[in-house]
Structure 1
Amino acid sequence: MRRCALMFATCWMLIAVGAFAGDNSSSQADVAPYRFETFRFSDAPRQVIGVKYRPGDARSVFPLGGLGTGTVAIDSHGQFTHQAVANSYRPVGGVMAGTGFTIRAECDGRAVEKPFSEMARTYLGHFPIVDIEGGHEEMPVALRFRAMSPFIPGDARESATPAAMFRFRAENTGDKPVKATITFRWNTPRPHFGRKSKKASLYQWPEYKVVEERRARSEDGAVALAVTLESAGIREGCAIAALKGPGVRVFQPETTAEGASPDVITVAAEAELPPNGSAEFRFVLAWYYPQALDSFQKFVGHQYAHWFDGSASVAQHVAERWDDLAQRTGEWQEAIYDDPRLPGWLKDQLVNSLYIFARSSCWIKDGRFTMSESFTECPIMETIVCRFYGSIPLAMFFPELEKNTMRQFMRHQRADGAIPFAFGTPEKWDSPYHETQKILDSNEFILLAWRNYAWWRDKAWADEVYPAVKKAFAFAKTLDTDGDGLINDELSKQYYDQWQFYGAGAYTSGVWLA
């Protein structure tokens, strides 16, 4: 499986080599004050080419989450933001108040405590990993923080784990012993109706502990696991886990922070750091919201509900497989970062453009996998003119999911052969529409089918898709209304859909000629 994953990553890289062969010039972004640089790490990926930002300078936030699981983001201050784990397709609010990490250092009878957001100094994203360096002049502790969610080409199952992994490496930079404590707090997103809370439970396994918050609806008393927004039926949510490392003690602290409420769950770990000594702290955020709804308010659920029965089982799964998940998530990037033919800016883009797998994917319980054009700007489920280019990494990294989506287009193919523009809007899977940009839709489906066969050499797949290709081709021919060999319609539904052109468009007709 690892060889398969690296093969896919290399193919994705070679496409860029073909497109940019011989171009070793810098991009427009590769200018002061930020430049693409090479950074070294002790674990995979051991080399990263990217841009380190200062807190507040990065305009984008970094999504954490798996295929179709929902996401929560980390900003350049190390703050949690844009929460969308609880079946809200569009992120809820901004920075999550009461959520995040707190660092406490006790040295020589003096204690200093700071939120991690006040300690962050640099921010480096390389999807699905973000690295933050931190420190503060008032405490003799240097921090290296890594956040990630499993993303493993060739392994869709592990890549769809509803969890995020957080690792701190704390180093004593002084000449006296330091007791370091890291606390993780998660503030429950509030639903649109009242509810009552039950006390958090602490589960213990041999090498780690999980704090699991329980919630109940005030109307009917149905109990669910941890952090959730309003959802139908039984709702189960977010678990916090801390893994026990050498010399690290894990415990559930008293909730005494100002403004704390029953909606905040906490877990903490501490370690004694000798002068120049260090310790590693690991945390897991896991969530479980099985009752996702579509835009008709009908149940669609999540694929991950087939594999887990609650947030605690998600946390346990990640905790037990931490090293393997982290290694496989990091190593595929090395095929890109270590290639001498690619300029740094292109390596960065090949890695970070994959963020849409976390942010825009849906994998519902009946097995259907789809991508939204954008949950926030233009929420349409599986726009074929977007997937014409955007599905390249899906076809390479997760071919079974690419087949999954293509089969949905085949199922929604109209009797006359027309391929739909999309499956529905905003979050609908069975409301296809066929008249939008129809000059492109069927042609692009044909080319996608050909592309996939050319890459996979899967004859069984070719036999399966061929009847739909023939029907789509027959329909596309009917759009040549003047017999000149170029398809068109009364008002060219071309790729730039805000502009109206009459006649045959060079791009749209060119797709037909291809």
Structure 2
Amino acid sequence: MKNFPGSPNIPAAAWTRPIGQGWDKPYTVRYASNLDDGPWHGMPLGGFGAGCIGRSHRGDFNLWHIDGGEHWFQSMPACQFSVFEQSAQGTRAYALVKEADERGLCPPFVAPLPENPGTYHALYPRSWFAYDGGLQANLVCEQFSPIWAHNYQEPSYPVAVFVWTAHNPTDAPITLSLMLSWENMTGWFTNTLKSPDVKVRDDGSPVYEYQPRIGESEGNFNQWRIEGDAAGCVLGRRLEAPPAEGDGQWAIALLRSDIADQTSQTEVFYHTRWNPTGDGGDLWATFSKDGSLPNVCDETPAIAGERIAAAIALRVTLAPGETREMPMALAWDFPVTEFAEGVTYLRRYTDFFGATGQNAWAIARTALAQYRTWQAQIQQWQQPILDRGDLPDWFKMALFNELYALTDGATLWSAATERDPVGQFAVVECLDYRWYESLDVRLYGSFALLMLFPELDKAVLRAFARAIPAADPTLRKIGYYATQGTESPLVPRKLAGATPHDLGAPNEHPWEKTNYTSYQDCNLWKDLGADFVLQVYRDFVLTGSTDTQFLEDCWPAVVSTLAYLKTFDLDHDGIPENSGAPDQTFDDWRLQGISAYCGGLWIAALEGAIALAKSRGQHSNPNAPPPTDSPETRWQEWLTQSRAIFHPTLWNGQYYRLDSGSGSDVVMADQLCGQFYARLLGLPDVVPEDCARSALKTVYEACFLQFHGGQFGAANGLRPDGSPANPKDTHPLEVWTGINFGLAAFLWQMGLPDEALRLAEAVVCQIYSNGLQFRTPEAITAVGTFRASHYLRAMAIWGIYGVMTDFATLRSP
């Protein structure tokens, strides 16, 4: 970007790509049934659980997560920015979209941008379009939503701000006009299938169909509004009753004058009813001529089969050398999320703007009034990290950009209640496995939420604590057996005492109806109970060991889930055995007997539970010894047994064997997750330190350096010489992005920072160089394919930063 007086400060760490530049060979999806929207993804705009919109670095708005929990991806030609310029060199007008394509990004009446128009930059929650080609003026758009750490209000807002900065570098006046056009999509984003059938696809995962009301605009109308310095259009429909899902409004708004200089004059134009499916002449004829619109104020509702849109424009004349700032806002107000038919929740932002569905204009005006404060808050949050000279820019870039999933991960954030004072929160595992807060995945993936919004992370764990004692005897088949060509037994959905795998899915009742996934029988998993206990202890101790209410809320579930998990210790040696079926997070990978992965987590969880018990005692009666039949007494007995056999059974002198029953010599990359968590939380080591170092060194060499020269990251499981045990394996030969970030955090924790950064950098390079940005997958392969995009676990990169800084962000609200 060409710097100019007053130009925005775009951090050097931002992800950068020429506007509209594609990829010769972007990564493609591994399984045809998985989601692959292509590489045109940009930083999402919108608040947590409020719905979000994606705008690609081509300039088009193309990702629409307006319906809570649902995904729709399509470029909308009517929704875009356009620019008119008149200078000594003549007049020109462009739609600020790089190119048309077969999907109709640009209507035929709109001139797309010329070659090399500028550069796109992204550092969540901010991104920039810097236009320095095709125009005489320098033009930069900074777009963002009000998201910063330790804030439980503004990050819920359904709003995007676009701050345009224009500079005249010539010695003659330049007239610029910026237009924002938007289609009235009120009523579109709700599933017409109120009880969609659930099917099992070819990879064994449950799926259901989503059919939004795209294009159904009957009854929609647009209004022109002016209040104070704000002017714009409200796009809605008349309501006869309290709003249902899909009911509400959109609003587009601008400031009529530069708030830094109230004497400055600007000209505002509008059109409240133009045809987004026609030839566009009702907008483009005047805009391309002089940057104006015809100022049509028509509130006639759309008839059946008709679609309508609105547009606003701001025209200014820049003197030679002048720089002007011109903010615009896009807001939406769809307060109700419906899951199964009749199961509805209000969104968190309604706590601040009400639940009438008539507040889009108020939200937009708030944005225009507060955007500079929001910019300052975001910068204040990000700057200490950006200023660190010991961290490479690629790490800072990925650290912030991987937070995109908190916005676009089909995110839910409900309104506050007495039971849940900051509401309930949830992010899906991914858009292919669309169930919420998979507990095994968030063992690493929740570090970001914990470090930046700890009360939301605690809300998630409270939901798991409530679900553990519940039972759902509904019988169902398990998808894994279908992938193996065998008949599945019928198993109950949820057993009492078992820790659920997830908090449910958007087509049922999240938080209340859990264990949605049916790929495996999660009642048999050997890591979930330990994962829950470790996350509870983590959240308690890393937030100061003072939140006794959180401890008490989770305590009964800690007791019951460990008792349930112990029932899988069939030989009574202290450690629950893996059954030979895939019964843990690597759910295509059979483990038999005692396993390094699950056994280590079990030992760490027992240590964590005992520490929680001591904390409870210190807050109640610190001098009273535990009764002989107390849970902690039993846990200590189990722990003593477990420690006596874990190391002798699995240690082979170099690393920990995969398990005790298979005879495999595979080096599992995540074999010491339990040791990582124990050291992270100040608990006694699971294994001797010298053995941990030897195992970690073996993992680094076998799974990373010897796997295609370390260019992809660490594969999940290879033999000591880097060869696969079975070339046809699935999970062992995949590079899991979040597991790699967790492994990098472990390397840093063990005093190997160079190795940690080399591993993390390889994974980040694969994501951001191959069209996977803002849709980070669970897994990549050495042949340029991926699986499970928009994945939760990749936010584990914040675990690396947490280990680097001793989780200082939790002490800096």
TM range (shorter): 0.7 to 0.9
Report how far residue 297 of structure 1 moved. Answer: 5.2
Q: More deviation in 382-391 or 292-301?
A: 292-301
Report how far residue 76 of structure 1 moved. Answer: 0.8
Q: Distance in 1 between matches of 2:456 and 2:68?
A: 23
Q: Which of the residues 69, 83, 89 maps onto 1:103?
A: 83
Q: 1:185-224 residue pairs with structure 2 within 5 A?
A: 185-189=181-185, 190=188, 191=213, 194-197=216-219, 199-216=221-238, 222=240
Q: 1:152-191 residue pairs with structure 2 within 5 A?
A: 152-189=148-185, 190=188, 191=213
Answer yes or no: is the 8 Å Cα contact 1:240–1:286 preserved in 2.
yes
Answer yes or no: is the 8 Å Cα contact 1:481–1:489 preserved in 2.
no
Q: Does 1:362 align with 2:407?
A: no
Report how far residue 272 of structure 1 moved. Answer: 0.8
Quick one: structure 1 residues 475 and 78, their matched pair in 2 at CA, closer, same or farther if it must change by over 3 Å? Answer: same
Q: Does 1:236 align with 2:248?
A: yes
What amino acid is the match of 1:161? Y
What amino acid is the match of 1:253? Y
Q: 1:210-359 residue pairs with structure 2 within 5 A?
A: 210-216=232-238, 222=240, 232=244, 235-243=247-255, 244-245=257-258, 246=261, 247=264, 249=266, 251-254=268-271, 258-259=279-280, 263-296=308-341, 298-309=343-354, 310-359=359-408
What amino acid is the match of 2:462? R
1:291-345 deviation digits (Å, cap 9, x = unpaired):
2211445222312122214111111222221111111122211121111222222
Question: 2:748 matched to which residue of 1?
Answer: none
Q: Does 1:501 align with 2:466?
A: no
Report how far residue 510 of structure 1 moved. Answer: 1.6
Q: Which of the residues 83, 92, 96 maps onto 2:72?
A: 92
Question: 1:465 matched to which residue of 2?
Answer: 554
Q: Which of the residues 484, 499, 508 maps onto 2:573?
A: 484
Report how far residue 72 of structure 1 moved. Answer: 0.5
1:15-70 deviation digits (Å, cap 9, x = unpaired):
xxxxxxxxxxxxxxxxxxxxxx9x99979976331331112337332211111111
Answer yes or no: is the 8 Å Cα contact 2:469–2:498 preserved in 1.
yes
Quick one: structure 1 residues 109 and 167, their matched pair in 2 at CA, closer, same or farther if it must change by over 3 Å? Answer: same
Report how far residue 174 of structure 1 moved. Answer: 2.5
Answer yes or no: is the 8 Å Cα contact 2:68–2:506 preserved in 1.
no
Q: Does 1:372 align with 2:428?
A: yes
Answer yes or no: is the 8 Å Cα contact 1:164–1:285 preserved in 2.
yes
Higher strand share: 1
Q: Distance in 2 between matches of 1:351 and 1:337?
A: 10
Question: 2:481 matched to which residue of 1?
Answer: none
Q: Distance in 1 between matches of 2:164 and 2:216?
A: 36
Q: Does 1:78 align with 2:167?
A: no
Q: 1:384-399 residue pairs with structure 2 within 5 A?
A: 384-399=439-454
Quick one: structure 1 residues 200 and 492, their matched pair in 2 at CA, closer, same or farther if it must change by over 3 Å? Answer: closer
Q: Distance in 2 between matches of 1:401 and 1:445?
A: 16
Q: Distance in 2 between matches of 1:338 and 1:274?
A: 35
Secondary structure at the aligned position of 1:410 is classed as helix
Report how far residue 109 of structure 1 moved. Answer: 9.1
Question: 1:439 matched to which residue of 2?
Answer: 526
What amino acid is the match of 1:263? I
Report how far residue 488 of structure 1 moved. Answer: 2.2
Answer yes or no: is the 8 Å Cα contact 2:48–2:155 preserved in 1.
yes
Q: Does 1:422 align with 2:502?
A: yes
Tell me the TM-score normalized by structure 2: 0.54
Answer yes or no: is the 8 Å Cα contact 1:248–1:269 preserved in 2.
no
Secondary structure at the aligned position of 2:54 is classed as strand
1:80-102 deviation digits (Å, cap 9, x = unpaired):
111222x1633323211111111
Report how far residue 447 of structure 1 moved. Answer: 0.2
In structure 1, stretches of 5+ residues that fail to align are: 1-36, 225-230
Q: Distance in 1 between matches of 2:97 and 2:265?
A: 23
Quick one: structure 1 residues 193 and 40, their matched pair in 2 at CA, closer, same or farther if it must change by over 3 Å? Answer: closer
Quick one: structure 1 residues 348 and 51, their matched pair in 2 at CA, closer, same or farther if it must change by over 3 Å? Answer: same
Answer yes or no: is the 8 Å Cα contact 2:466–2:557 preserved in 1.
no
Report how far residue 233 of structure 1 moved. Answer: 6.5
What amino acid is the match of 1:56? Q
Report how far residue 289 of structure 1 moved. Answer: 0.6
Report how far residue 105 of structure 1 moved. Answer: 0.8
Report how far residue 489 of structure 1 moved. Answer: 4.1
Q: Distance in 2 between matches of 1:271 and 1:223?
A: 42
Answer yes or no: is the 8 Å Cα contact 2:177–2:314 preserved in 1.
yes
Question: 1:17 matched to which residue of 2?
Answer: none
Report how far residue 234 of structure 1 moved. Answer: 7.6
Q: More deviation in 174-183 or 421-430?
A: 421-430
What amino acid is the match of 1:343? P
1:340-372 deviation digits (Å, cap 9, x = unpaired):
222222111211111111011211236221111
Quick one: structure 1 residues 472 and 250, their matched pair in 2 at CA, closer, same or farther if it must change by over 3 Å? Answer: farther
Structure 1: 4+ residue segments shifted above 6 A:
39-46
Q: Which of the residues 497, 507, 510 maps onto 2:600?
A: 510
Percent sequence identity is 22
Quick one: structure 1 residues 234 and 388, their matched pair in 2 at CA, closer, same or farther if it must change by over 3 Å? Answer: closer
Question: 1:115 matched to which residue of 2?
Answer: 95
Answer yes or no: is the 8 Å Cα contact 1:169–1:281 preserved in 2.
yes
Quick one: structure 1 residues 193 and 125, their matched pair in 2 at CA, closer, same or farther if it must change by over 3 Å? Answer: closer
Report how far residue 480 of structure 1 moved. Answer: 1.6
Please say which structure displays the higher CA radius of gyration. 2
Secondary structure at the aligned position of 1:331 is classed as helix
Answer yes or no: is the 8 Å Cα contact 1:45–1:330 preserved in 2.
no
Aligned length: 464
Quick one: structure 1 residues 61 and 195, their matched pair in 2 at CA, closer, same or farther if it must change by over 3 Å? Answer: closer
Question: 1:8 matched to which residue of 2?
Answer: none
Q: Distance in 2 between matches of 1:251 and 1:444?
A: 56
In structure 2, stretches of 5+ residues that fail to align are: 24-38, 99-112, 189-212, 283-305, 418-422, 471-495, 605-813
Answer yes or no: is the 8 Å Cα contact 2:42–2:56 preserved in 1.
yes
Report how far residue 505 of structure 1 moved. Answer: 2.7
Answer yes or no: is the 8 Å Cα contact 1:45–1:331 preserved in 2.
no
What amino acid is the match of 1:455? L
* C-alpha RMSD of the superposition: 2.8
Q: More deviation in 90-99 or 327-336?
A: 90-99
